[in-house]
Amino acid sequence: MRAEQYIGSQKSAFENNNNIKAGALTAQFESDWQNISSGLRRDLGAQIYGQWIRSITLGDFCDLTGTLELILPSEFSASWVADHYADRLSLAWKSTNKSVRQLKIRTRPGTVRVEKLSDEGTTSGGHVKLAAIKSSPVRATLDPRMTFANFVKGQTNILALSAAERVAAADKPLFNPLYLQAATGQGKTHLMHAIGHAYADINPDAQILYMSAEKFMMEFVTAMRAKQVMDFKARLRAVDVLLIDDIQFIIGKVSTQEEFLHTIDAIIGAGKRLVVAADRAPQALDGVDQRILSRLSMGLVADIQPADLELRRTILEQRLAQMPDTRLGEDVIEFLARTISRNVRELEGGLNKLLAYAQLTGRPITRALAEEQLKDILSACRRRITIDEIQRAVCEYYRIDRSEMSSKRRARAVVRPRQVAMYIAKIMTPRSYPEIGRKFGGRDHSTVIHAVRLVENLRGQDSEMDNDVRTLLRQLEA
């Protein structure tokens, strides 16, 4: 046999042996992962396991460094698993397979990637070590659905919307930072994402980062453990627009708040844009350093009030306009807008549930169906308005004596307010016609039915009457 042939045959044999070894190694790793997965499911519980661990698949293994890749379907899930379960996963693998010395948690190729590395050489406790973070696309952290075009303007949010549009404009804003204050589900997060999208449209090369205060704290603590605080600082200070949500959760260790304070000063001092959001005013934030509160208050504090009936109705109509094949009766829209009043998120969730149910079952969406399918949401949202409250509000509005609600007088100045009160009592309380009649001086149920139908018709013909009813509904809902 010639020397070249001998070398070639040996090389081929060596490659074949390697292939066999690699195959055996893969089978062993899959078996190890099944055992580890079972243990994690038992320790973490079925819900957490199903949400975060089940989707993990095994990637490549580097025999030289002992690095095993764990693949997750999205950047968010990879980041969450790395933040919360990297230590547990690393310990489990090292206990099960001695050849695994470190784990690399990443996303599948083609997805936005934020890699985090867990290895045995970082700290004595095996803490998470941040790997080099590749520069991600400008909008990687922004929800594509949350734009200014999809935000519904109303009297309760006009200040916050105008301020957000100003921050996103090319010209330097007159205020910095912008502080958005609103209760849960009123649109502050939507506006923050919209600012990011609008600014990116004007400045495609700008670096924009959206993160929650909780994520800020977790990443800072992780960086401290990995002794990579300077990398963390550099990453935040490199952005052109920093959006921090749910700032009420920034309470915690002094070092975390100190770093947040330095971040605020660095962003504002460099002339970059800072937007923060919370569910309360800066002065009402408990456990937050006074210096932070001072910085947050020096810009513009724009609050978003709970959506009124008009805005809720407009939101529903706009969402339905985006689905031309979907039909919803005016009575159903009015019912949803009036009864789901706590926040916009619940309102949209209720609408989505109805639409999904109708599509899956083929049933038309009626008010009866809405009451049946949304009883849990409606029960949580419905404030217990009493007929006494309604009578009191109507009498104050029309400036008549409370006794006129049950009197026998038939003067128009008394009858019309009484009919309005009966109408509102029917749509805002679960009381029957006879029960309402008894609260209005023992009147017959047919009198109440007549009043309800009359006011309903007048609202469609008389703008003044419609305005009176709308005003009273707003007052009672507030």
Along the 478 residues of the chain, how does pLDDT read in single tens digits? 444 444 444 444 444 444 434 444 567 888 889 888 888 888 777 767 877 788 898 888 887 888 888 988 777 677 778 877 888 898 888 888 888 888 888 876 544 333 334 443 333 333 333 333 333 445 567 888 899 998 999 888 999 999 999 999 988 888 899 999 988 888 999 999 999 999 999 988 888 999 988 888 888 888 888 888 888 888 888 889 999 998 887 765 677 888 889 999 989 988 899 999 998 888 888 778 888 888 888 899 999 988 888 898 898 888 888 777 777 888 888 888 888 877 888 888 888 888 888 888 888 888 888 887 887 777 655 556 889 999 999 999 999 999 999 998 888 889 999 999 999 998 888 788 888 999 999 999 899 999 999 998 898 888 889 888 988 988 887 6
The Cα 392–Cα 256 span in angstroms is 52
Which domains does the chain show, CATH number per domain? 15-130 (3.30.300.180), 148-304 (3.40.50.300), 309-381 (1.10.8.60), 387-477 (1.10.1750.10)
pLDDT number for residue 20: 38
pLDDT number for residue 112: 36
pTM of the model: 0.54
- Beta carbons within 8 Å of 160's beta carbon, 6+ residues apart: 180, 182, 187, 188, 191, 302, 303, 304
The closest alpha carbon to 103, from 44, 32, 42, 46, belongs to: 32
pLDDT number for residue 31: 85
The Cα 83–Cα 76 span in angstroms is 11
pLDDT number for residue 74: 72
**Position 47, amino acid:** Q
